[in-house]
């Protein structure tokens, strides 16, 4: 039964690729011509090569970023090596709307949120923990610089600026949270026309940032927000550029398994974003990640198991092609 499920997922993924890249396909007709041509050029599968599981520079697997890693105790389980406890940062600003492995989103006032670090900049403990916190600080600096490059665009989260003390990032609040949470809660109520609109809007966002020379490097449904316009229509907004790249500005991140091709080099490229975009399309259209059942991960162990399984499936598929 499970093998049949995987084959069905794989077949659907191939159909999505056809719809995306064929000028006669469904997405081909819906996307604006410049975006369609861009995705077709950048996303061709012309680089089948020997597969290897990508590793970070220190030889450790990439640290997962997911809301399921909310508590510090759970997060320690996936940090590379033995890292001492960093000091949690607890800003007294307002209601915490969400928290990930590296940051908090806090409502500063109606319509405005502040993105805060998960851990205190001032921590001066063990060297490995201090290095981890410095990496988070760098991601905030990267995001600030990249938003100066990106400017404003309808498919990008509204960046307001920097708060002075403490120095944090201010954004317009997205009314309906992130895409993954919305799909998990309302998948049965999402009609086909809305799913197709979201696919087009995700493609528009990626096309725009690539025009600006920015590679997102972490495209997944959690990093796409939903916001209601004046007509109460839900629209997608791309967010979280802390791991992104632009020339010498390098956030040093790559996508999670299922959104990254493990047969590719450990380097951020436009093709990496296009591969991730295909998996985002898949999630929007089916309600779940590739080769995964619907709903959030129940534990870190379940997420780790998924990552190993989906990477192995991708490697075996290419090896036998």
State pLDDT tens for residues 208-243: 999 999 999 999 999 999 999 888 899 999 999 999
Question: How many independent structural domains does the chain possess?
Answer: 1
Decide if pLDDT at 89 tops 90. no
Higher pLDDT, 145 or 90: 145
12 pLDDT more than 70: no
Q: What is the pLDDT of residue 109?
A: 87
The phi and psi torsions of 16 (rounded to 5 degrees) equal -60, -40
Prediction pTM value: 0.72
- What the block records as the tokens of 318 is 């290419």
154-189 tens-digit pLDDT = 999 999 998 876 678 999 999 999 999 999 999 999
Give the pLDDT score at 237.
98
238: domain CATH number is 1.10.510.10
- DSSP E strand stretches across the chain: 95-99, 103-109, 112-117, 159-163, 168-172, 224-228, 234-238, 245-246, 249-250
pLDDT of residue 55 exceeding 60, the answer is no
Residue 279: predicted pLDDT: 95
Is the pLDDT confidence value at 74 over 80?
Answer: no
| Mean confidence (pLDDT) of the chain | 76
Domain that holds residue 82: 2-319
The pLDDT of 116-139, averaged and rounded, is 70
């Amino acid at each position: 039964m499970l093998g049949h499920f995987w084959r069905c997922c794989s077949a659907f993924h191939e159909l999505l690729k056809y719809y995306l890249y064929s000028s006669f396909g469904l997405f081909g007709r819906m996307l604006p011509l410049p975006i369609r041509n861009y995705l077709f050029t950048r996303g061709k599968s012309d680089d089948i090569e020997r597969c290897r599981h990508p590793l970070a520079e220190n030889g450790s697997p990439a640290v997962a970023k997911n809301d399921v890693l909310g508590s510090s105790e759970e997060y320690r389980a996936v940090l590379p090596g033995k890292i001492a406890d960093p000091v949690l940062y607890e800003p007294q600003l307002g209601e915490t709307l969400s928290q990930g492995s590296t940051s908090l989103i806090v409502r500063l006032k109606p319509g405005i949120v502040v993105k805060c670090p998960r851990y205190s900049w001032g921590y001066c403990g063990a060297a490995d923990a201090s290095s981890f916190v410095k990496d988070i600080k760098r991601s905030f600096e990267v995001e600030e610089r990249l938003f100066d490059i990106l400017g404003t665009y309808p498919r990008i989260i509204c960046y307001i600026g920097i708060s002075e003390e403490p120095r944090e990032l201010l954004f317009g609040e997205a009314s309906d949270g992130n895409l993954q949470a919305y799909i998990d809660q309302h998948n049965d109520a999402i009609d086909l026309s809305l799913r197709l609109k979201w696919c087009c809007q995700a493609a528009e966002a990626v096309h725009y940032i690539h025009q600006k020379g920015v590679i997102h490097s972490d495209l997944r449904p959690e990093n796409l927000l939903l916001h209601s316009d004046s007509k109460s229509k839900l629209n997608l907004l791309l967010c979280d550029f802390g791991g992104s790249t632009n020339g010498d500005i390098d956030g040093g991140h790559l996508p999670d398994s299922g959104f990254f091709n493990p047969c590719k080099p450990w380097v951020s490229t436009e093709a990496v974003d296009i591969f991730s975009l295909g998996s985002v399309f898949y999630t929007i259209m089916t309600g779940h990640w590739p080769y995964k059942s619907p709903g959030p991960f129940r534990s870190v162990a379940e997420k780790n198991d998924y990552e190993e399984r989906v990477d192995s499936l991708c490697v075996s598929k290419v090896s036998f092609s």
